[in-house]
Structure 1
Amino acid sequence: MAEEEKTPAREIITDYAQAHFRYFRTADGTVYAQKVGHPVARPIRSQGTTGSHRQELMVGLFRDGLGVFNGTALKEALDLIEALALTEEVQPVHIRVAPGFDGATWLDLGRSDGLSVRIHPTGWDTVVPDPREVCWRRTQLTGELPVPVKDTDGKGIDLLMRLCNFANAQTECLAIAWLIGCLGPSVPVPAPFLTGPQGAGKSSGGRMLVRIIEGMSGDLRRAPKDEENLIAAVAAGWVTALDNLSHMTPDLSDAMCCIVTGAESVKRALFTDGDVVRASYRRPLLLTGIDVGVIRPDLAERLLPLRLERPRVRVTEAALWADYEEALPVVLGSLLDLTVKVRAAQAETPTDLRMADFAHLCAQLDAATGLGVLAAYRASLDDLNDDVIEGDLLAQTVLRHAETIAPGAAQRQTSTEWLTCLSRLYSEPDLRPLPKGWPTTGKVLSDRLKRLQPTLAARGVLVDSGRTCEGRYLEMGRPAVTPPHEQPRLL
């Protein structure tokens, strides 16, 4: 064949790629390649160690007898494929959990054959999803889960509770509620904070909870030094678990709030001046530690304290994890069985709690099992409010002053007048100096009180702000107490 009659290498690669792969783009413009009939998708520009599309394309061409092509031909073909894919319809990719058709949700088992769990209103099954329904994205943090066992009769939950050192039944039911929440792609769940004395097995308990969702390769990690690295780690997996926290900076606290309820990170794209890279994230978060010091009120509303106690009988690490790995298929099967029951249960959504979706999940779990999970969740929030107040001298001073306000009454002053009033109350009677971090201006006081509003409201103190013709004001009051005979009757 004459040289001019040969088919260019880039055309051979393009024809082969379009015959064996489906190409599409996500909402942020990233182009993915998905082998025909397989649910796992890879970004075509990825050079990651989990296997790039370029590598699987080279292997396919070689194994099908079309030869080995140089980098220039591959680059030209992939450039054309990427340009063509930008005109295709948008489809999202998911890590570990995903919404499906007809009210179903999916759990990626992380297997090479694409086998996944479909959780639907009448039960759950293990099947390979239709690629147009679910596209899985895999990273180094995507571990393989065992195939769950059917018809466990709840034995897996009992096995898990025996392996963990939870302090009481209330803590156990909250841990179960969190695990069920992790299987929902659209339900924000509070971050469990595993606490307890030294030697209580906090790290082991955290690993057990994480590995039910992430597989035996899932593990705890230290908190990154900066927010950018934290976001990168969060976006690459489903459950993020931070171990042995002893101090929480304001920046880390704010980042955790964003992880729990969702946020977006935007940064400049590499080698460009005007383009950006968007990363949206909302992930289940798990923390362990003995004490993290003062907890900020906004983070306290997003935490789920799980207390552990020291075990009476110790076992070796090898024996513990051997027992856990053997029980994991049964544990996962029991969790899926319970998830189906909980989602089918009817319950009202509590309207007074910050994490309303999780509160509704707790109410559904109560309706399905009668465990009293919602009451346990409310009690845990009360404990966290106590922790916030014990660590905040301003909150303690506000509560002292509120005791002088009659129920149903309110006091209105400027923020500067409130600063003078509260500073005097703190210093009396022995004229002790104001502590470090005490508000220095009325504006700082106003901002602090806004952050403390939910905590103070839980203790019956209402703080509000507004403006009149004379200027801005802060109002502090206590709600009126309804006499028992006037309280509405529950039907």
Structure 2
Amino acid sequence: MEARDRNEDAYFSDGTPIPDKPPTGGGGKGPSQAQILIQMAEEQYRLIRGSDGRTYAVPKLGPSIAVPLASKSGNGMRAKLAASLRRCTGKVASASALADCITVLEGEASELDPEPVFLRMGRHENSIVVDMGTETGQCILITPEGWSIEATSPVIFRRSELTHPLVEPVRGGSLDPLRKLINLTEDDYRLAIGWVVAAYFTDIPHPILFVQGEQGTGKSSLVRALLALVDPQPAADRETPADKREWAIFARASWAFSFDNVTEIPEWLSNSLCKGVTGDAVLQRVLHSDEDITVFSFQRVIAMTTIAIKHELAGDLVDRMLLVEPEVVDERMTEAEVRAARAAALPDALGAVLDLVSGVLRELPHVRVDDAPRMADFARVLAALDRVTGWNTLATYREKVTTMGMALIEGNTLAQALYRLATQTSPGGLDPRPWEGTASELLTTLRQICAHHDMPADELPKDPRVIGRQVREIAPSLRKVGVDIRPGPRSNTRRTLRIQRIARDPSQQS
């Protein structure tokens, strides 16, 4: 009875004492250790099945932080129940009792209707909820009218070992102290702030912040400062993952993260990054099992730093990128000085960002973006931000999209010839009516354009059947620079392509 004497709370809510010497069960000897653990879990937690397909337990008293049932880490249900039993009875739970308990709890939770479980950022009605990462479970509630710090969250969050506390924001804060630490041009700086603001919205795709600059431009420090306003963590800078399993595990652990000093992006990672922006689900076989699978599902906010990528980027990845280019730092600070200045600037900056997020929430219902780029939801956030601040971030973003589109067609003779066909009037160019014809007719026209502009016509496809496929592959890149290519009218004997220049109306820029 010593353990019970040391802990007056060693009783279930119905007054039944928690046994200090758990029997093995059977023969009328009382509940087994697994049964005691199950009863303790039911007393202290509410079981849920998350919308991500995983099972959790949420404390009945305390923060609305979901505890994963299957995890074997110190934050998992297994470890918490073992610790509770040790505190209440002085006994150590056996591995088999814990395994039996977790199996029962997972079975019960799997029968429940799914509930949303968020990581760092969540949505509740017309508001945004931010997990501050504190032990007490404080959250920031952002509405169109403003923001406040609340003691409890209206939504359920989960955390990982990478979840780190946010600084406490200053009401009426300013971005000015942080601006001094960010060596971007004013246009790029405002786009970067737009990326931070958009990161608070969980229901939209977010472009990959692509920070490209020479050595000594403070790329990593820039990304750390921006991530500290969204999802601070001790491991914000990461190397690119080695495979899809590693990618899925790392991506699931935090809402926002960065890959540092990237020089190559393999094809599988390029595809994974694209899906990670719009929403990805990775299926993996459970270790030590031939039939069971686990699903990693996520949609993330991603940044990436590089001096230069050694190869051409895939067009669909470029579509999902937001390029900013830091300037050379003339007066360098020590790392300790940078950390101190960043820590001093963050509370004011976070308060200012929360004000901007609130303003964007207020303006979004009234925003319409015509001729939207690929990342249309992000463009709407920028349009709303421009209404709040008087900035011109949407027009700047459109220019970035066009610039990166032009970079994609450089060195591609077919793309350049198609661009000249759509934007010039001779020879064979548009006047300004759309061009329409078969693949064979297109190949003849493009050879004329190459001859007129001294371009290597021998780099064009030789077979009309090939040109149709290649045109479809580069059509998204050409659309970014104002050239639209679509299938024309079809008949049983004739398949055509239709090429025209996209009119850019200045009134559509915001």
1:311 aligns with 2:332: no
Change (3 A) 1:429 1:128: closer
SS for the counterpart of 1:4 is: coil
Aligned match of 1:468: 490
Change (3 A) 1:458 1:94: closer
Aligned match of 1:117: 140
Change (3 A) 1:443 1:179: farther
Aligned match of 1:390: 410
Q: Distance in 2 between matches of 1:272 and 1:18?
A: 29
1:423-450 CA distance string (max 9 Å, x none)? 6865889896855xx7575555333322
**AA paired with 1:350?**
V
Unaligned stretches of 5+ residues in structure 2: 1-20
Aligned match of 1:22: 46
**AA paired with 2:205?**
P
Q: Distance in 1 between matches of 2:226 and 2:484?
A: 38
Contact 2:52–2:297 under 8 Å retained in 1: no
Superposition deviation, residue 164 in structure 1: 1.0
Aligned match of 1:206: 223
Contact 2:163–2:233 under 8 Å retained in 1: no
Q: Distance in 2 between matches of 1:429 and 1:453?
A: 22
Q: Percent identity?
A: 29
1:75-124 CA distance string (max 9 Å, x none)? 22222222222222321221111112x31111112222211211122221
**AA paired with 2:45?**
F
1:146 aligns with 2:167: yes
Aligned match of 2:6: none
Unaligned stretches of 5+ residues in structure 1: none
Identify the match of residue 107 of structure 2 among 72, 79, 83: 83
Aligned match of 2:420: 400
Change (3 A) 1:39 1:474: same
Q: Distance in 2 between matches of 1:302 and 1:51?
A: 35
Change (3 A) 1:443 1:44: farther
Q: Distance in 1 between matches of 2:508 and 2:401?
A: 26
Contact 1:20–1:36 under 8 Å retained in 2: yes
Aligned match of 1:257: 274
Contact 1:466–1:472 under 8 Å retained in 2: no
Aligned match of 1:126: 149
Aligned match of 2:3: none
Change (3 A) 1:432 1:180: closer
**AA paired with 1:453?**
A
Superposition deviation, residue 179 in structure 1: 0.4
Aligned match of 1:378: 398
Change (3 A) 1:104 1:393: same
**Greater shift after overlay, 394-403 or 141-150?**
394-403
Q: Distance in 2 between matches of 1:170 and 1:117?
A: 29
1:398-417 CA distance string (max 9 Å, x none)? 22344322211313113x66
Aligned match of 1:350: 369
Contact 1:27–1:90 under 8 Å retained in 2: yes
1:371-402 CA distance string (max 9 Å, x none)? 11111111111211121122433211222344
Superposition deviation, residue 299 in structure 1: 2.1
SS for the counterpart of 1:214 is: coil
Equivalent residues, number = 476
1:413 aligns with 2:431: no
Contact 2:436–2:488 under 8 Å retained in 1: no
Aligned match of 1:450: 472
* Pairing 1:34-49 to 2, within 5 Å after superposition: 34-37=58-61, 38-48=63-73
Superposition deviation, residue 296 in structure 1: 2.9
TM-score by length of 1: 0.88
SS for the counterpart of 2:119 is: coil
Change (3 A) 1:434 1:280: farther
**AA paired with 2:296?**
A
Change (3 A) 1:119 1:488: closer
Aligned match of 1:60: 84
Superposition deviation, residue 421 in structure 1: 5.8
SS for the counterpart of 2:99 is: helix
Superposition deviation, residue 165 in structure 1: 0.5
Contact 1:194–1:306 under 8 Å retained in 2: yes
